[in-house]
């Protein structure tokens, strides 16, 4: 196999050499997300956690007694809506492009 040699192109103007490596906008930090994306990610995570916390409980201490508390509005309606809203916010936070 023949080895390929890499030749370095010399530039006389130093600004010309750094010009091709310049990065503008939010990409200059090296992070994939902007500050607003991280805020939205944490808001979505908070909504998901609150939804799961609202689902906790409702059981009875006595195994021979049935508790109707598991069928209340908080556990059957509010908590799943919060969890789904949290996932929607997470998807939006990931897909949102940072401003330049």
More confident residue, 77 or 24: 77
Residue 44, judged by CB atoms within 10 A of its CB (0-12, 13-18, 19+), counts as buried
In whole angstroms, give the CA distance from residue 82 to residue 18: 49
**Does residue 53 contact residue 82 with C-beta atoms inside 8 Å?**
no
List pLDDT tens digits, range 40-89.
999 999 999 999 999 998 777 888 888 888 889 999 999 999 999 999 99
In whole angstroms, give the CA distance from residue 34 to residue 40: 10
**pLDDT at res. 12:** 65
In whole angstroms, give the CA distance from residue 33 to residue 41: 10
pTM over 0.85: no
pLDDT-derived band at 13, boundaries 50, 70, 90 = low
> CB count, 10 Å around CB of 88?
12
**pLDDT at res. 1:** 56
């Amino acid at each position: 196999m023949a080895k390929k040699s890499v030749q370095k192109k010399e530039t006389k103007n130093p600004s010309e050499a750094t010009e091709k490596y310049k990065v503008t906008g939010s990409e200059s930090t090296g992070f994939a997300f902007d500050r607003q994306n991280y805020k939205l990610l944490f808001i979505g995570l908070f909504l998901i956690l609150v939804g799961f916390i609202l689902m906790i409980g409702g059981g009875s201490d006595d195994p021979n007694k049935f508790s109707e508390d598991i069928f209340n509005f908080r556990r059957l309606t509010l908590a799943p809506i919060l969890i789904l809203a949290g996932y929607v916010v997470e998807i939006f936070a990931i897909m949102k492009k940072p401003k330049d």
